[in-house]
C-alpha cells in the first residue's frame, strides 16, 4: 500500500514522495508505546506498592493492625500474609517481566531511530540525485532548444574543388609583362580553390634538367629535396590536380663529366627551350615556382641570370634579388639551405644564457673585388669603417671584435663576387666567435640588391648562434619570408647613417630584451631556416598563406582498441566511492568540443601569432588554446549559442553555480586520459571513482603493456564511455599520444592510481577553462638551483611556497599540447624519457612554459594525489629523483634555456573561507 504525500524541499519546490507515510506511522505507534507504557506502568505499580507496603508493614506491628484484621485468628492471619506474600512475589515477577519488556521496547525504539536516521540520509541522497537529474534535464532542454533554434547549421565543407585538367596552352606573355607580374595578374587562382588542400607537384629533378650543358643541379639538393617534399603533406603525384608546380633549377654546379662544358658555358644558365618544354608549362608557366636554392656558392655573380631570361608567369624563389628583378608579393626571398636535410637541429645551437657574452658586437669579413677591379668605397662606407675601427679603441668596458681582413682564408669564396663582404674563415671558426657575441654586425649589400645569399647566410649563422643580428643598411634590404615573419622582433635594422649611434643603441638594450630577441632568433631559425625540410615546408606554407588556403589537418594517432571486434568486455555497476552528497553539475551525454571552426579565419586574424609566437603555421588544428573569447555582452546579444551563464546571466552563489558552467567559453566537457601498466585493479578502482562525474565526456585508457587485459576483467560502468587503447610499445611518451578519439579540448591527464575527489576535478576543470593555454592541476613541484655546485638544477618535491611545475599525473591541459609534444619537442627529449622511463611530465611542463612563457596553475590545497594503500608506482625511490635532476638539466640544454617560470599563487574557489549568509551556498562545500 503506497500513499503519496506532498513534500516540501528546501527550495520550496514541491515534489511527490512515496512510502514516507509508512514510516511516520511506525514512528507514531512507537511514540504512543513510549509515552503510554511508563504512564500505565507507573500507575499500576504505585497502586500495588501501596497495598503491599501497608500489609507487610502491618505484619510487624500487631497493635496498629487495621480493624478488618483484628477479628482474625493467627492462622488466618498467616494464611492471608502468605497469600499476600505470594501475591507480592507474583507481582514482582510480573514487574520484572514488564521491565524486561520495557528494555526490549527501548531497544526496538533505538533501532527504529537508527533506521529513521538512515532513511533520512537516504532521503538526502535521493534528493541530491533528484537535483542532479533536474539540472541534467534542464541542461538537456537548453541544449535541445538550442539545436532547434540554431539558424546557422554547422557548415558542411563544399566538395573539394580540384581542377581536372592540366593547363591549356596560352599565348606567351611578352618579357615586359612578366617583369611586372603580381599575384593578381600572373597567378591562376582557379587551380587553387580554398578547399583544394593546396596540392603541390614536383618535376622530378633527375628527369627535367633545364640548365645548359655543362651544369647540373647539386646532387645533395636533388635527393634531399625529394625526400623532404615526401614528408610534406601537400605533395601530389597527379599533375592534373596540382595548384603549383615546383621546378628545381639550382644550386647549379659544374658537371665535371661533361668534357666540353668549360668551353661553352662559363656561368650556369637556364635553357629557355627546355623551360618552355616543361610538360605542364602551359605556354606561360602559370603557377610554376622556380626554386634556386643556394647551398655552397654564396658569392653574388654580377648580373642576374633571370634578367636575360623569359620566365613567363613563374614565381622565382631564391636568396639573391636585385631591386630591379624582385617582384614584391610575387617572388619569394629564401635563406640558403645550409643545414642538414632534417631532424633535430638543437645541437647546432648555442646556449641562450647568459644574456651578455664576451663581445658586445662582432664582425668578420673581407671586401672582395670584382674580377680584380679595385674596390670602390663610397665616402659613407669609408666613414663607417673608420668609426668601427675607433670603437675598438674606446675605453668602455664593452668589447668588440671586428675583422675586416681575413686572418683565416676562406676557400669557399671565388673571386667573382660583386662588391660585398665575403665570409672569413670556416663555418666552425665563425661559429666560435658568434657564440661569444651578444650582437652580430651584418652589412647590407650593395644598394643594387634587395637581398643576397651572403646576407641571408650571415643571418643564418647569427641566428644559429643566438647572436642578435644588427643589420647596418637594414632599411635597404628584405629578409627571407618577410611577408610572414616579423623580423623586427629578431634583428635590429639600422640605416647606415646611424653608425655613430650604434654603440649607444646596443648599450640601451636590457638583458630581458636581448634574451627575448635571442629566443625569437632560435624560434625562427628552428622552425623556418635550419634544415632543408624546414626551408621547403616554409616556402610551400608562405605561398599557401598568400592564397589564404588553410593547411592540412594535423595528424592524429589512430586509437585501436585492445578489444577485438567480437569481444564484449564485461561491465558491472558499482557504487563509486567518489560519488558525493553534493550536486556538482548536470550529467549530460558526451558532447564533442566544436572543432575546425576557424579554418579560413585563423590565418587572417591570428596569422602573426601563428608564424611568430605559439603557432604552427604548417598544420591546421581542431582548436587552439589561444582561440579568442567573445566580449561578455555578445553572448547575450546575438552570439549566445553554447553558453551556459550562471543564473542565466544573473549570477548567483553555490546553487546557481552548480547548475551552469558559466565562464567565458561555451559549454564543453573533458576527457580523462589515463596511462596504465599492469595494475589492473588499481586502474579499475580509479575508473569506478569517476562514476557520476558531471562534464565527463569519456575516459581514454592507454594500455601500455604488451599483455592485453584479461577477458574476465569487470569494467565499471560509470555512465560515460571508456575506451581502452592499445599502445604500440611501452613508453611514457604514450601518455601524450594525440589520439583521434580525444574529442574534447580539455584533457584531464591522470595517473592510474590518482585519487581525486569529484569536486576537486570539477574545480580544476573550471579553472582550466580560464587558463586554457596552461597546465592546471594539483601536484606542484619546482626546480631548485643547486647552491652547492652553482651550475645546475635540482628537481624538488618538498612542500614549498613557490612552484614551477604541475605534474601531469593529475592535471588538465589542452589537447593541442599533445600534438606539440610529438611534433615540436626535439626527438632527443622523448628519447631521454624512454631511456629513464621517467620525466615525461617535466618535458610537458618545459614545452608549455616555453610556448606560453607562463608558469602552470596550481589548484586547491592538494599537494599529493596518489591513493593511500595503492601498490607503489615506479616513482618514489632515490634513482627516480636522481633521474629527474638530470632530466631538468638535459632539457634546459636542449631548449637552450630553462623555460620554467615560478609562481607563488594557487587557485581556490571564490567563496572558499568567506563568511556567507545562511541561505546562501558556497561554490563547493570543501574547496
Ligand atoms: C575545416 O578543416 C577540417 C580539416 O580539414 C575539415 O574536416 C572541416 O570540414 C573544415 N571545415 C570547413 C567548414 O571547411
Ligand atoms: C636546351 O634544351 C633543349 C630541349 O631539352 C635541347 O634540345 C637543347 O640541346 C638544349 N640546349 C642547350 C644549349 O643545352
Ligand atoms: C677545358 O677542359 C679541357 C679538358 O677537357 C682542359 O684541357 C682545358 O684547360 C679547360 N679549359 C678551361 C678554360 O678551363
Ligand atoms: C641562383 O642564385 C644564384 C645566387 O644565389 C645566382 O647567382 C644564379 O644566377 C641564380 N640562378 C641560377 C639558375 O642558378
Ligand atoms: C577476441 O578476444 C577474445 C578475448 O581476448 C578472444 O577470446 C577471442 O578469441 C578474440 N576473437 C578474435 C576473432 O580474435
Ligand atoms: C627536501 O626534503 C628532503 C627530505 O626532507 C631533504 O633531504 C632535502 O634536502 C630537501 N630539499 C631541499 C632542496 O630543501
Catalytic residue among 773, 841, 878, 919: 841
For residue 320, give the ligand nearest its CA: 4
In a domain, 927, yes or no: no
Q: Is 913 left (phi over 0), alpha (psi -120 to 50) or beta?
A: left
In a domain, 823, yes or no: yes
* Dihedral pair phi/psi, residue 472, rounded to 5°: -85, 120
- Percentage of the chain lying above the pLDDT 70 cut: 84
In a domain, 551, yes or no: no
For residue 456, give the ligand nearest its CA: 4
Average pLDDT over residues 660-671: 94
- Specify the CATH number for the domain of residue 776: 3.90.550.10
Ligand 1 atom index nearest CA of 552: 5
Query: What pTM does this model have?
Result: 0.84
- 260 vs 180, which has greater pLDDT? 180
Q: Is 148 exposed, middle or buried (0-12, 13-18, 19+ CB in 10 A)?
A: exposed
pLDDT digits (tens, 9 = 90+) for 212-238: 777 778 888 899 999 999 999 999 999
How many domains does the chain divide into? Answer: 4
Q: Rounded to the nearest whole angstrom, what is the distance from the C-alpha of residue 259 to the centroid of ligand 3?
A: 8
- b or e along 851-889 (b: 16 or more beta carbons within 10 Å of the residue's beta carbon)? bbeebbbbbbebeebbbeebeeeeeeeeebbebbbbbbb
The residue ranges of DSSP E strands in 738-809, in sequence order, are 746-751, 776-777, 780-785, 793-796, 805-806
412 CB contacts (<8 Å, ≥6 apart)?
296, 297, 298, 423
Ligand 6 atom index nearest CA of 798: 1
Q: How far apart are CA 533 and CA 227, in angstroms?
A: 8
Ligand 1 atom index nearest CA of 154: 13
Q: Identify the bridge partners of residue 876 per DSSP, sorted by sequence position.
A: none
The set of cell numbers assigned to 632 is: 561578455
Nearest to 573 by CA among 682, 675, 687: 687
The residue ranges of DSSP E strands in 315-358, in sequence order, are 315-318, 321-322, 332-333
Ligand 1 contacts CB of residue 599 (under 6 A): yes
Ligand 3 atom index nearest CA of 259: 5
Pocket test for ligand 5, best of 561, 563, 567 (most atoms within 8 A of CB): 567
The set of cell numbers assigned to 684 is: 579499475
Average pLDDT over residues 571-593: 76
Q: Are residues 146 and 270 in the same domain?
A: no
Instruction: Tell me whether residue 773 is one of the annotated catalytic residues.
Output: no
Residue 423 pLDDT level (bands cut at 50, 70, 90): confident
Q: How far apart are CA 290 and CA 298, in angstroms?
A: 18
* DSSP code of residue 110: H
Q: Are residues 114 and 221 in the same domain?
A: no
Q: Identify the bridge partners of residue 703 per DSSP, sorted by sequence position.
A: 676, 726
For residue 795, give the ligand nearest its CA: 6
Q: How far apart are CA 671 and CA 738, in angstroms?
A: 13
76 CB contacts (<8 Å, ≥6 apart)?
none
| Tally of CB atoms within 10 A around 156 | 6
Domain boundary among 528, 548, 583: 528
Q: Residue 119 has what pLDDT?
A: 92
Q: Are residues 201 and 240 in the same domain?
A: yes
Q: How far apart are CA 714 and CA 574, in angstroms?
A: 10
- 207 vs 784, which has greater pLDDT? 784
In a domain, 902, yes or no: yes
Nearest to 135 by CA among 568, 587, 713, 505: 587
In a domain, 158, yes or no: no
Q: How far apart are CA 246 and CA 229, in angstroms?
A: 10
Residue 421 pLDDT level (bands cut at 50, 70, 90): confident
What is the extent of the structural domain holding 751?
Answer: 570-629+665-907
Nearest CA to ligand 1 atom 4: 553
Q: How far apart are CA 186 and CA 284, in angstroms?
A: 9
DSSP element (H, E) containing 132: helix 74-149
Ligand 2 contacts CB of residue 195 (under 6 A): no
Ligand 2 contacts CB of residue 232 (under 6 A): no
For residue 258, give the ligand nearest its CA: 3
Ligand 6 atom index nearest CA of 796: 13
For residue 214, give the ligand nearest its CA: 2
The set of cell numbers assigned to 126 is: 535521493
- Mean pLDDT, rounded, of the chain: 85
Ligand 2 contacts CB of residue 75 (under 6 A): no
For residue 298, give the ligand nearest its CA: 4
Three-class SS state of 440:
strand
Ligand 4 contacts CB of residue 362 (under 6 A): no
Nearest CA to ligand 6 atom 4: 798
Give the C-alpha distances (Å, rounded to integers) separating 857 from 346, 503, 776, 777, 905.
Answer: 29, 42, 5, 7, 8
Contact 336, 319 (CB under 8 A): yes
Domain boundary among 495, 528, 561: 528
In a domain, 875, yes or no: yes
pLDDT digits (tens, 9 = 90+) for 36-73: 655 555 555 555 555 544 444 444 444 455 566 666 77
Q: Are residues 104 and 185 in the same domain?
A: no
Q: How far apart are CA 778 and CA 806, in angstroms?
A: 7
Ligand 5 contacts CB of residue 710 (under 6 A): no
Ligand 6 neighbours by CB, cut-off 6 Å: 784, 796, 798
Nearest CA to ligand 6 atom 13: 796
Domain boundary among 528, 559, 581: 528
Comparing 225-239, 416-430, 618-632, the range with the smallest average pLDDT is 416-430
Q: Are residues 817 and 858 in the same domain?
A: yes
Contact 204, 237 (CB under 8 A): no
Contact 316, 451 (CB under 8 A): no
Gyration radius of the chain's alpha carbons: 42
Nearest CA to ligand 3 atom 2: 262
Q: Are residues 846 and 697 in the same domain?
A: yes
Q: Are residues 145 and 181 in the same domain?
A: no
Nearest CA to ligand 6 atom 6: 798
pLDDT digits (tens, 9 = 90+) for 163-185: 777 776 666 666 677 788 899 98
Please measure the distance between the N-terminal and C-terminal CA atoms of the chain and give it in whole angstroms: 44
pLDDT at 734 over 70: yes
Q: Identify the bridge partners of residue 726 per DSSP, sorted by sequence position.
A: 703
Q: Are residues 279 and 370 in the same domain?
A: no
Q: Rounded to the nearest whole angstrom, what is the distance from the C-alpha of residue 601 to the centroid of ligand 1?
A: 12
Nearest CA to ligand 6 atom 5: 798
In a domain, 258, yes or no: yes
- 901 vs 127, which has greater pLDDT? 901
pLDDT at 306 over 80: no
Q: What is the largest CA-CA distance in the chain?
A: 171
Ligand 2 contacts CB of residue 274 (under 6 A): yes
Ligand 4 contacts CB of residue 299 (under 6 A): no
Q: Residue 816 has what pLDDT?
A: 96
Q: Rounded to the nearest whole angstrom, what is the distance from the C-alpha of residue 244 to the centroid of ligand 4?
A: 21
Q: Residue 575 has what pLDDT?
A: 61
Ligand 4 contacts CB of residue 209 (under 6 A): no
Average pLDDT over residues 758-785: 95
Ligand 2 contacts CB of residue 271 (under 6 A): yes
Q: Are residues 246 and 367 in the same domain?
A: no
In a domain, 912, yes or no: no
Q: Rounded to the nearest whole angstrom, what is the distance from the C-alpha of residue 202 to the centroid of ligand 2?
A: 21
- Specify the CATH number for the domain of residue 351: 3.40.50
Nearest CA to ligand 2 atom 14: 212
Q: Are residues 523 and 622 in the same domain?
A: no
The set of cell numbers assigned to 120 is: 533520512
Q: How far apart are CA 564 and CA 567, in angstroms?
A: 5
Pocket test for ligand 2, best of 266, 268, 270, 273 (most atoms within 8 A of CB): 273
- 421 vs 523, which has greater pLDDT? 523
Q: How far apart are CA 480 and CA 459, in angstroms?
A: 10
Comparing 335-344, 360-369, 674-683, the range with the smallest average pLDDT is 360-369
Q: Are residues 517 and 613 in the same domain?
A: no
Ligand 1 contacts CB of residue 157 (under 6 A): yes
Ligand 6 atom index nearest CA of 797: 1
Residue 4 pLDDT level (bands cut at 50, 70, 90): very low
- Percentage of the chain lying above the pLDDT 90 cut: 54
Q: Rounded to the nearest whole angstrom, what is the distance from the C-alpha of residue 711 to the centroid of ligand 5?
A: 9
Contact 602, 550 (CB under 8 A): yes
Q: Residue 683 has what pLDDT?
A: 92
pLDDT at 890 over 90: yes
Average pLDDT over residues 127-139: 82
Q: Rounded to the nearest whole angstrom, what is the distance from the C-alpha of residue 212 to the centroid of ligand 2?
A: 7
Ligand 5 contacts CB of residue 571 (under 6 A): no
Q: Rounded to the nearest whole angstrom, what is the distance from the C-alpha of residue 110 to the centroid of ligand 3?
A: 118
Q: Are residues 694 and 840 in the same domain?
A: yes
Ligand 4 atom index nearest CA of 211: 13
Residue 210 pLDDT level (bands cut at 50, 70, 90): confident
Amino acid at each position: 500500500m503506497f500513499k503519496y504525500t506532498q513534500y516540501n524541499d528546501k527550495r520550496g519546490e514541491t515534489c511527490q514522495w512515496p512510502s514516507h507515510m509508512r514510516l511516520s506511522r511506525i514512528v507514531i505507534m512507537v511514540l504512543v508505546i513510549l509515552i503510554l507504557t511508563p504512564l500505565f506502568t507507573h500507575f499500576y505499580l504505585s497502586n500495588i506498592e501501596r497495598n503491599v507496603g501497608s500489609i507487610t508493614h502491618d505484619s510487624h506491628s500487631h497493635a496498629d493492625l487495621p480493624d478488618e484484621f483484628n477479628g482474625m485468628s493467627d492462622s488466618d492471619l498467616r494464611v492471608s500474609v502468605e497469600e499476600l506474600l505470594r501475591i507480592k512475589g507474583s507481582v514482582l515477577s510480573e514487574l520484572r517481566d514488564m521491565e524486561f519488556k520495557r528494555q526490549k521496547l527501548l531497544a526496538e525504539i533505538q533501532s527504529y531511530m537508527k533506521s529513521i536516521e538512515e532513511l533520512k540520509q537516504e532521503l538526502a541522497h535521493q534528493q541530491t540525485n533528484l537535483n542532479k537529474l533536474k539540472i541534467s534535464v534542464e541542461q538537456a532542454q537548453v541544449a535541445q532548444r538550442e539545436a532547434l533554434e540554431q539558424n546557422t547549421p554547422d557548415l558542411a565543407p563544399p566538395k573539394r574543388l580540384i581542377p581536372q585538367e592540366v593547363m591549356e596552352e596560352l599565348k606567351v606573355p611578352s618579357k615586359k609583362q612578366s617583369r611586372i607580374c603580381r599575384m593578381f595578374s600572373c597567378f591562376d587562382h582557379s587551380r587553387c580553390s580554398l578547399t583544394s588542400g593546396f596540392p603541390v607537384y614536383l618535376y622530378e629533378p633527375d628527369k627535367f634538367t633545364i640548365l645548359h650543358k655543362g651544369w647540373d643541379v647539386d646532387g645533395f639538393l636533388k635527393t634531399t629535396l625529394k625526400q623532404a617534399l615526401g614528408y610534406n603533406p601537400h605533395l601530389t603525384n597527379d599533375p592534373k590536380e596540382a595548384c603549383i608546380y615546383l621546378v628545381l633549377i639550382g644550386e647549379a654546379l659544374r658537371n665535371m663529366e661533361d668534357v666540353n662544358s668549360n668551353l661553352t658555358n662559363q656561368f650556369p644558365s637556364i635553357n629557355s627551350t627546355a623551360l618552355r618544354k616543361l610538360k605542364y608549362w602551359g605556354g606561360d608557366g602559370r603557377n610554376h615556382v622556380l626554386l634556386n636554392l643556394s647551398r655552397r656558392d654564396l658569392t653574388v655573380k654580377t648580373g642576374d641570370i633571370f634578367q636575360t631570361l623569359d620566365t613567363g608567369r613563374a614565381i622565382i624563389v631564391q636568396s639573391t634579388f636585385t631591386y630591379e628583378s624582385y617582384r614584391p608579393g610575387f617572388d619569394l626571398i629564401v635563406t640558403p639551405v645550409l643545414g642538414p636535410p632534417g631532424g633535430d637541429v638543437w645541437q647546432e645551437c648555442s646556449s641562450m644564457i647568459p644574456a651578455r657574452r664576451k663581445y658586445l658586437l662582432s664582425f668578420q669579413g673581407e671586401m672582395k673585388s670584382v674580377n680584380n677591379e679595385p674596390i670602390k668605397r663610397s665616402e659613407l662606407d669609408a666613414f663607417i669603417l673608420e668609426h668601427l675601427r675607433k670603437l675598438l679603441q674606446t675605453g668602455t668596458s664593452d668589447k668588440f671584435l671586428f675583422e675586416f681582413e681575413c686572418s683565416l682564408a676562406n676557400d669557399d669564396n671565388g673571386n667573382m663576387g660583386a662588391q660585398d663582404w665575403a665570409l672569413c674563415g670556416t663555418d666552425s671558426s665563425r661559429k666560435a666567435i658568434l657564440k661569444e657575441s651578444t650582437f652580430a654586425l651584418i652589412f647590407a649589400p650593395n644598394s643594387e640588391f634587395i637581398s643576397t645569399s651572403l646576407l641571408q647566410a650571415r643571418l643564418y649563422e647569427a641566428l644559429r648562434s643566438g647572436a642578435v643580428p644588427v643589420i647596418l643598411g637594414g632599411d635597404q634590404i628584405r629578409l627571407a619570408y618577410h611577408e610572414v615573419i616579423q623580423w623586427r622582433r629578431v634583428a635590429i635594422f639600422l640605416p647606415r647613417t646611424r653608425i655613430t649611434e650604434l654603440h649607444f643603441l646596443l648599450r640601451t638594450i636590457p638583458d630581458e630584451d636581448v634574451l627575448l630577441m635571442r629566443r625569437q632568433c632560435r624560434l625562427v631559425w628552428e622552425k623556418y631556416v635550419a634544415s632543408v625540410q624546414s626551408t621547403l615546408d616554409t616556402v610551400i606554407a608562405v605561398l599557401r598563406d598568400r592564397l589564404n588556403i588553410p593547411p592540412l589537418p594535423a595528424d592524429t594517432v589512430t586509437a585501436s582498441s585492445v578489444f577485438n571486434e567480437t569481444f564484449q568486455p564485461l561491465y558491472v555497476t558499482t557504487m563509486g566511492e567518489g560519488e558525493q552528497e553534493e550536486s556538482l553539475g548536470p550529467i549530460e551525454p558526451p558532447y564533442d568540443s566544436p572543432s575546425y571552426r576557424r579554418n579560413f579565419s585563423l590565418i587572417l586574424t591570428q596569422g602573426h601569432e601563428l608564424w611568430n609566437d605559439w603557432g604552427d603555421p604548417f598544420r591546421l588544428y581542431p582548436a587552439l588554446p589561444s582561440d579568442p573569447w567573445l566580449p561578455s555582452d555578445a553572448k547575450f546579444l546575438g552570439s549566445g549559442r553554447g553558453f551556459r551563464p550562471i543564473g542565466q546571466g544573473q549570477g548567483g552563489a553555490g546553487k546557481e553555480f552548480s547548475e551552469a558552467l558559466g565562464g567565458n567559453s561555451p559549454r564543453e566537457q573533458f576527457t580523462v586520459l589515463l596511462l596504465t601498466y599492469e595494475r589492473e585493479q588499481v586502474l579499475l578502482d580509479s575508473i569506478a571513482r569517476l562514476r557520476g562525474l558531471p562534464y565527463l565526456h569519456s575516459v581514454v585508457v592507454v594500455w601500455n603493456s604488451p599483455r592485453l587485459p584479461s577477458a574476465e576483467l569487470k569494467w565499471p560502468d560509470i555512465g560515460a564511455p571508456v575506451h581502452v587503447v592499445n599502445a604500440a610499445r611501452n613508453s611514457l611518451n604514450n601518455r601524450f599520444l594525440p589520439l583521434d578519439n580525444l574529442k574534447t579540448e580539455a584533457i584531464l591527464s591522470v595517473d592510474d592510481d590518482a585519487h581525486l575527489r569529484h569536486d576537486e576535478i570539477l574545480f580544476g576543470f573550471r579553472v582550466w577553462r580560464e587558463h586554457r593555454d596552461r597546465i592546471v592541476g594539483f601536484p606542484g613541484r619546482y626546480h631548485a638551483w643547486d647552491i652547492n655546485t652553482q651550475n645546475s638544477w635540482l628537481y624538488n618535491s618538498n612542500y614549498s611556497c613557490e612552484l614551477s611545475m604541475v605534474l601531469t599525473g593529475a592535471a588538465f591541459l589542452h589537447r593541442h599540447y599533445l600534438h606539440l609534444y610529438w611534433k615540436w619537442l626535439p626527438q632527443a627529449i622523448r628519447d631521454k624519457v624512454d631511456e629513464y622511463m621517467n620525466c615525461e611530465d617535466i618535458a610537458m611542463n618545459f614545452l608549455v612554459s616555453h610556448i606560453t612563457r607562463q608558469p602552470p596553475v596550481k589548484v586547491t590545497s592538494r599537494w599529493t594525489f596518489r591513493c593511500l594503500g595503492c601498490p607503489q608506482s615506479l616513482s618514489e625511490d632515490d634513482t627516480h629523483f636522481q633521474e629527474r635532476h638530470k632530466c631538468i638539466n638535459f632539457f634546459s640544454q636542449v631548449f637552450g634555456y630553462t623555460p620554467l617560470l615560478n609562481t607563488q599563487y594557487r587557485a581556490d574557489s571564490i567563496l572558499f573561507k568567506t563568511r556567507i549568509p545562511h541561505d546562501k551556498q558556497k561554490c563547493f562545500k570543501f574547496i
